[in-house]
Every structure is written in C-alpha cells, then in structure tokens.
Amino acid sequence: MSEIKALGYLGFSVSDTQQWREYAENVLGVSVREADNGDLLLRVDSYAWRIRLKKSDHDALDYVGWEVSDKQDLESLKQRLTEQSVAFATGSADLAKTRQVKELITFTDPDGTPCEAFYGPLQLTNKPFISPTGFRFVTAEQGLGHIVLISKDHAAQEAFYTQLLGFKVSDYIDTEVVPGKPINITFLRCNSRHHSLALAPVPIPAKIAHIMLQVDNVDDVGRAMDAAKKADVHFSFTLGRHSNDEMLSFYTMSPSGFDVEFGWGAIEVDDDSWHVKVHHTNSAWGHKFQRPPRK
C-alpha cells in the first residue's frame, strides 16, 4: 500500500518573481521559463517543470505534488482515501493540463497542507534540461528532493503520511532547536532517498521549514556557496553534514522566506536492511544557525 513513489513537484505563491528568478538561476542553478500565464517554471531534469512559482501579493506553499506510478495506483490511493473518509477531489482536465500530468487528485493533510497525487508527468527530452550554472541534480527515482513541513498536529500528520499514504519512517531526530524546548522531527521516505518529507513540530507560525535540492558532486555545493555569497543571499545554516542522511549541505533563505537546502552525498536507504534510528543532533558537524538580518 504505498502508491506514492516520489516527491514530484511543488507549487508556491511568491511576491517577488524577479528576485526568485535570479535566486533560482544564479544560486540554485535551476533553469527558469515563463509559462503563458506568467508563472515561473523551474526545471532540474527531464520533467517539464518541478517547481512552479505563481506571482502573488504574498508568499505561500500552494501544493505538494506526490507522484504515483500509473492510473491503477492512483485508483487504489483514491479507494483508500474513500475508505478512510479522507476527502479528495479529482483534478479537472484543465488542472491536469496546467500541471502537465495525465491525471491527478487533490486533498489536504491533517495540518491543511494542500496535497496532490498524480501520474504521467510530461517529459521534455526534446528540450534537455540545461543548468545555467552547469549543475546536475540527483532526481530520477528519488524524485525532486525533500520538503520539511512545520507540523502543528504532529501525531496526526505522522499517522496520515505513514498509515494512509504509506511512507516509511527512516529515523527521528530529538533535539532542541530552541534551548529548553525539545522537539522530535520525523523523517519519512517513499523511495531510496532517505527522506522525501520530514515533519518538524517547531512552535512557529510558518508552514514550511525548507526544501532540498541535491547535486551529484561536492564541488557544485562549493560553487553554489560561492554564488550565494556573490548574490549576498542570507545563509540560514552554514555548511555542515547531517547526522541522519549524511547530506553535506548549506541552507540559504529563498526570496519567500523559507530555506533551500543545497546538498550532496546523502546516503540511499535499502528497505531490506534499514532499521529506524534516533539521533540527538541535527548534524555531525556544521549547520550553524545564522539569524536573518533585520529588514
């Protein structure tokens, strides 16, 4: 019962598309194309797009797109949602056309995060992805990367993603982001990527902590750091190595206020040999939090 195969795409409302374009192209090294309706379509691989930015007067996460293999898997997911009395809607033909997928459904998780499940994403092999900075991203069966949501009802969120959507727990990090206030972060996988989703019950109003993109060589992490410094982007966490997925990464603040982790070298999980682990630190070294400058 795990139809979901990967994190497929993400959609955001953003208040400053120009700043986003520069950040995406120059710092993250992803390609940007403007859709007919003015949305910015960000590519990292053969998919027609992976991140869609809608010009708005505010910044928000609009949807998280989870990819399933085929129509049969979408139907069996629909059946389970029905059995568990989770409301969902079948995406219209117009919505599927906009998302550039064959079919999709929409629903929300217990915290109200807008979720979509789809199959049949358009591939643009005739227009190969070309990174403006020459980066190569680790995607394919591991999907786009990962997203870390700030959980409000943590137990309900964890139950929803594991028991209903079939994610597996990779590990937990019990730590104190704020001294004296322990939190328990849950890391969830749906393929060999250590986590495509993490749930962090941090007592802050934000809904999203960060998203992560992974490149296939360590030098591109260094090049992205150089580019971020040159662009005078805020580093939210310094270079470091995560304790659980062993990602070597740094974090910068996107123009929307959430962070983007940019990393290399994460482990891949083999379902047969993996066992759930617990860590008490986020990182083996580094990842020092840097307070954002006051505006």
Q: Footprint of Fe ion on this chain (CB under 5 A)?
A: 212, 261
Q: How far is the CB of 148 from Fe ion (least distance, A)?
A: 6
End-to-end alpha carbon distance in the chain:
47
C-alpha–C-alpha distance, residues 122 and 97, integer Å:
10
Q: Is the dihedral of CA 160, 161, 167, 170 positive or negative?
A: negative
Q: Report the residue number, 173 or 212, with the smaller CB distance to Fe ion.
A: 212
- The single-letter DSSP state of residue 228 is H
Q: How far is the CB of 36 from Fe ion (least distance, A)?
A: 33
Please, which residue, 91 or 145, has the CB nearer to Fe ion? 145
Question: Cβ 146 to Fe ion, closest distance in Å?
Answer: 6
Matching residue, tokens 């910015």: 40
Measured from the CB atom, the residue of 78 and 279 that comes closer to Fe ion is 279
Looking at the Cβ atoms of 212 and 233, the one nearer to Fe ion is: 212
Nearer to Fe ion (CB atom), residue 89 or residue 278: 278
Least gap, CB of 250 to Fe ion (angstroms): 11
DSSP 281: -
Bridge partners for 175 per DSSP: 183
Smallest distance from the beta carbon of 276 to Fe ion, in angstroms?
A: 18
Helix (H, G, I), strand (E, B) or coil at 77: helix
**Alpha-carbon Rg for the chain in angstroms:** 18
Nearer to Fe ion, 1 or 285 (CB): 285
Q: How far is CA 131 from the centre of its chain?
A: 19
From the CB of 106, what's the least distance to Fe ion, in Å? Answer: 25
Sheet containing strand 208-214, edge to edge, reads 277-279, 168-178, 181-189, 197-200, 146-150, 208-214, 259-264, 248-253, 235-242, 283-286
